[in-house]
Chains A and B, each alone.
Chain A
Amino acid sequence: MFHLFKKVHILKISCVTEYLFLAIMLNSIPWLTAIILLPLVSAFAIPFIPDKEGKTIRWYALSVSLITFGISIWGFWQNFDLQTSQFQMRETYAWLPQLGLNWSVAVDGLSMPLIVLSGLVTTLSLLAAWKVNRKPRLFYFLMLVLYSAQIGVFAAQDLLMFFLMWELELVPVYILISIWGGKKRLYAATKFILYTAIASVFILVSGLAMAFYGDNLTFDMVELGMKNYPMALELLAYTGFVIAFGVKLPIFPLHTWLPDAHSEASAPVSMILAGVLLKMGGYGLIRMNIEMLPNAHIKFAPVLVTLGVVNIVYGAFTAFGQQNLKRRLAYSSISHMGFVLIGIASFTELGVNGAVLQMLSHGLIAACLFFLTGAAYDRTHTLMMDELGGLAKSTPKIFALFTAGSMASLALPGMSGFISELSVFLGVTTSDAYSDAFKIVVVFLSAVGLILTPIYLLSMLREVFYGESKLSLDPNFLMSDAKPREVFITACLLLPIIGIGLYPKLATSTYDVKAVDVAMKSRAALPVVAETRSTQQQAHLPSVWTPAMVAPQLPNSSN
């Protein structure tokens, strides 16, 4: 009897495994839906987990996050084809057919690495948030919701769903900043939500305008990209998207929320903010602005390059003036995001490639630096650099890791930042789209920013870690050095940085095909402009455009 039962049981199990195996073979597992919904659904179990000291919940949240990360890696490993620039692993379910809203997710070379990045950074930030004393349940709940929203933004193929995910991430971040933040956290959180909410209005408006144009009502991003919009509409939609994503990225005049939010948020939240959320802006710019609106992109590209240069130089100079460690890092983020803008607007494979790599590499570097700042703050309880000093003696490991992170941030050769910034430079200098004078000015000014970066980062290191300790602490107080957990987190971020720096193909191979495709598409629109321009007076051309872009007049064409 028992034997029989066992047999049946084994049969059952083998049936299940066989089914699973079949499902994997047939590629019918909804991987993306699974990784979007898993954190969200498991977040709702948090209120019901019995927990006295907050330990069960953090293990729960961490394991959910790890499992999601594992599933996404496994799924991409199994199903992602590196050789195609098309969308893959597409899953579409009708959600509200009356509105044209579909639950439609897919990945391509652009979104896949970003999903992996957000998985990595979120998992590590959950590990970084090991001691949440205040309202731990709420904290881990919000972190898991935020995780879902991030993946959702990168995977969404439906513009309405993209907007929904984009908005979904607002409230968790707001509450995360306003409860577990620094002194001015309420101000920072309110500023964050107002900026982002107002900006996201533009996504919806541009999206509606594009969706309703033409005969077919659709929110599918691929189909939206295939519509032919009139120039005026395209320019308006482009402006809307630039404003929305420019707040997130951030682009110069819209950046003011960032230093406040980043410096007031607690270290794990800052890691996600700087590591992933800024990349949503860059991702959106490539996905919507370049891929869907290539004709407007040609008109706007010089503006983007100019804003990128302003970002680099302004961010670098402002970072100098900051005495608060996190604010300095925040302005350095602004400066680094300028390279993304320039790369996007370069019209070359190399430039777009560099922009994507810059997003990935900055995601890792910023997360690493913000985490280490948090670790330093846990020990000193201050972020003001003039109150710090001589930390290298008491905490040599943190010092070493911080130095490594800063080196990566200042684009030391052999680190990922170097590769990406170099590619952007090469991309913009080899671009045919701009006149030589314009390129020279751009390269020169960004080089100034590049020189400033080591200066402010090294002077930060000097002030914080060298010299005598200025902390008015008890002399007998022994500051503990980095714990294995902290070293582990930093290592997880630094290893890919160095890995990519030494062998860039590690990262670039994932999106190379896609980046080439994007650059080709954006260049494909160029001749159209050139033709229309050639009919105009040559003298009226803006000086940023290279003469090569204007189709030469054939000698007998005037007759």
Chain B
Amino acid sequence: MDFSSNIATQLNAGAILPEGIVVVTILLVLICDLIVGKSSARWLPYVAIAGLLASVAALWLKWDATESLAFLQGFNGDDLSIAFRGIVALSATVTILMSVRYVEQSGTSLAEFIAILLAATLGGMFLSGANDLVMIFVALETLSISSYLLTGYTKRDPRSNEAALKYLLIGAASSAIFLYGVSLLYGLSGGQTNLDAIATALANGDGGESLGLAIALVFAIAGISFKISAVPFHQWTPDVYEGSPTPVVAFLSVGSKAAGFALAIRLLVTAFGAVSEEWHFIFTALAILSMILGNVVALAQTSMKRMLAYSSIGQAGFVMIGFIAGTDAGYSSMIFYLLIYLFMNLGAFTCVILFSLQTGTDQISDYSGLYQKDPLLTLALSICLLSLGGIPPFAGFFGKIYLFWSGWQAGLYGLVLLGLVTSVVSIYYYIRVVKMMVVKEPQEMSETVENYPEVRWSLPGMRPLQVGIVVSLVATTLAGILSNPLFTFANNSVINSPVLQSAKLTQPIAKAGISETSDRPIVQ
């Protein structure tokens, strides 16, 4: 009796209730598809959405749970992980909304698509809370392998196949590198897999500053950077984004990235706390490269998906500012930005999907004159893009201000300046699309837009698309102005997470950054 209750508290299986709901949903989707057959495609997406929303609700209930560690400390369900798991689950929800019509039109089975997407979501959610090297790797591979499958999902499209192969090869290589780095970490810490145990072992042992640790760090960062597509580990991004089915791209750019950032925070802050100066330096370099390359190369793109791919590289660079800041405000600005980025980026992708469903193209020049034909699509896409560019009063403005604010607070003046300049550059390419759609005269309309059929929302699968557009439009417009609850949520998720709080005590750099700004001697 005593033993079993002891085991129960050690397992604390309730912590993964949200993931459990997702697993049940996957099974439900697969079984219903087997039993009912093809006609189930009409209601299966809603089952999946209901499951994901239930999972988000379960996350909500777990907020501020007293006992966050579960499975013998292999999984940490603290508020930080809840924020990231929520982002991953929500991004999957919106992705399903936009994918119903798209997948049906491509002539492939919807149920399998949803099942794989849910599996990827599951991987991402576990990754956000994983506190153990084995757990991290298993979750990472669940996410990655599902992503490979998803990118190649439209198997009759050669470009989708190409994207899947590229993603698989590069992804497998990066996974191997990551695994090698992690195994070094395992060895250096004297055979520990738990992140906290590794941190203590490294702090007590003499291997703290060894070359092995440096190599482990570099390899781990390479694996993470692949997930968040930070330059120079970004080469797969444009090609994969261009070739794979658009809903998959939307998920990769938000859900998968959020999971990558969650992994970065947990692994680097906890396990690599001893070398935090080094990884701050590496991430500074990655952020600089990502912001510059992502935003500058996006200028030259002619395909909408490629442009969004480069823009997502640049956006990841902005988010890294909050990570490098390493303060409470820094981490919560990351969470806040990712939450907002979820809506604006997925909103943009939903609009791109609608346009390509209507016309079959995603060239930027084909958007010209769309205002005359489809005002709702024009409005939604314009607002999402302007928000991505950081134009007030949309949500993206507030997100960027928070990131830059926290960066400045931590003394990262150069990074913030660079971020500001590159976001001006980004305004240029976002507004180029808006200009195409809004400014062009009826006679300058592109041929595609001239033949633009009227949107028939009554077609199967179009309703969810419409809901997706409207939801992300409303969220992008209002989440900035009324962002106070979101701010509080992001702040609390950081403050209530002991991982980050204890890390701050052992990590003098971030503190030094604050004190430098606050009580700098007065120079006369």
Contact = CB atoms under 8 A, between A and B. Distances in A.
A232 interface: yes
Interface string A160-173: 10001101101100
B420 A204 contact: yes
Contacts of A168: 391-393
A263 B16 CA distance: 63
B435 A164 contact: no
B355 interface: no
B438 A230 contact: no
A164 B393 contact: yes
A205 B391 contact: no
Given A99-B401, A208-B416, A230-B523, A186 B488 contact: no
A483 B414 CA distance: 57
Nearest to A170: B391
Interface string B413-450: 00011001100100110010011001101000000000
Interface string A532-558: 000000000000000000000000000
Contacts of B487: 96, 98-99
Given A167-B397, A204-B420, A230 B524 contact: yes
A215 B392 CA distance: 29
Nearest to B440: A179
A233 B524 CA distance: 10
Contact of B428 (A167, A170, A194): A194
A334 B421 CA distance: 27
Contact of A212 (B393, B397, B488, B517): B517
A101 B487 CA distance: 12
A233 B427 CA distance: 29
Contacts of A179: 438-439
A198 interface: yes
Contacts of A212: 408-409, 517-518
Contact of B438 (A138, A213, A214): A138
Contacts of B256: none
Prevailing SS type, chain B contact patch? helix
A530 B424 CA distance: 41
Contacts of B523: 230-233
Residue from A160, A212, A232 with most neighbouring chain B CB atoms (10 Å): A212
A98 B488 contact: yes
A198 B421 contact: yes
Contacts of B408: 208-209, 212
Nearest to B477: A44
Interface in B465-511: 483-484, 487-488, 491
Contacts, number: 90
A96 B435 contact: no
Nearest to A169: B392
B397 to A, nearest CB: 7
A135 B391 contact: no
Contacts of A231: 523-524
Contacts of B206: none
Contacts of A208: 404-405, 408, 416
Contact of B391 (A98, A165, A167): A167
B341 interface: no
A198 B523 CA distance: 29
B25 to A, nearest CB: 35
Contact of A193 (B409, B421, B427): B427
A134 B393 CA distance: 26
A207 to B, nearest CB: 10
Residue from A99, A194, A215 with most neighbouring chain B CB atoms (10 Å): A99
B402 interface: yes
Residue from B401, B417, B438 with most neighbouring chain A CB atoms (10 Å): B401
B2 interface: no
B524 A193 contact: no
A265 B416 CA distance: 34
Interface residues of B, number: 41
A186 B420 CA distance: 24
B519 interface: yes
A95 B523 CA distance: 34
B386 interface: yes
A409 interface: no
Given A168-B393, A212-B409, A99 B402 contact: yes
Interface in A174-211: 174-175, 178-179, 186, 190, 193-194, 197-198, 201, 204-205, 208-209
B484 A96 contact: yes
Nearest to B386: A171
Residue from B427, B428, B434 with most neighbouring chain A CB atoms (10 Å): B427
A79 interface: no
Interface residues on A, range: 35 or more
Contacts of A186: 435, 439
A106 to B, nearest CB: 20
A17 interface: no
B393 A96 contact: no
A165 B332 CA distance: 25
A92 interface: no
A44 to B, nearest CB: 10
Interface in A66-118: 95-99, 101
B132 to A, nearest CB: 33
A201 B420 contact: yes
Contacts of A509: none
A204 B404 contact: yes
A135 B438 CA distance: 10
Contacts of A170: 391
Contacts of A205: 416-417, 420
B522 interface: yes
Contacts of A101: 401
Nearest to B393: A168
B371 interface: yes
A56 interface: no
A459 interface: no
Contacts of A164: 392-393, 397
Nearest to B420: A201
A469 to B, nearest CB: 31
Contact of B401 (A160, A165, A171, A214): A160
A98 B488 CA distance: 8
A201 B421 contact: yes
Interface string A24-53: 000000000000000000000001000000
A63 interface: no
A228 interface: yes
B337 interface: no
Contacts of B405: 99, 208
Given A178-B435, A231-B523, A215 B402 contact: no
Interface in A210-238: 212-215, 228, 230-233
Contacts of B428: 190, 193-194
A168 B487 CA distance: 22
Contacts of A198: 421, 424
Contacts of A138: 371, 438
Interface of A: 47, 95-99, 101, 134-135, 138, 160, 164-165, 167-168, 170-171, 174-175, 178-179, 186, 190, 193-194, 197-198, 201, 204-205, 208-209, 212-215, 228, 230-233
What 10 pairs across the A-B complex have the smallest Cβ distances? Answer: A230-B523, A201-B420, A208-B408, A164-B392, A197-B424, A98-B487, A178-B439, A167-B392, A230-B522, A168-B392
Interface of B: 329, 332, 371, 375, 386, 391-393, 397-398, 401-402, 404-405, 408-409, 416-417, 420-421, 424, 427-428, 431, 434-435, 438-439, 441, 483-484, 487-488, 491, 517-520, 522-524
19 contacts: A98-B329, A99-B401, A99-B402, A134-B441, A164-B392, A164-B393, A168-B391, A178-B439, A179-B439, A190-B428, A194-B428, A198-B424, A201-B417, A205-B416, A205-B420, A208-B408, A212-B517, A212-B518, A230-B522
Given A165-B392, A178-B435, 20 more contacts: A96-B483, A96-B487, A98-B332, A98-B487, A99-B401, A167-B397, A168-B391, A179-B439, A193-B428, A194-B424, A194-B428, A205-B416, A208-B416, A209-B408, A214-B518, A228-B522, A230-B522, A230-B523, A231-B524, A233-B523
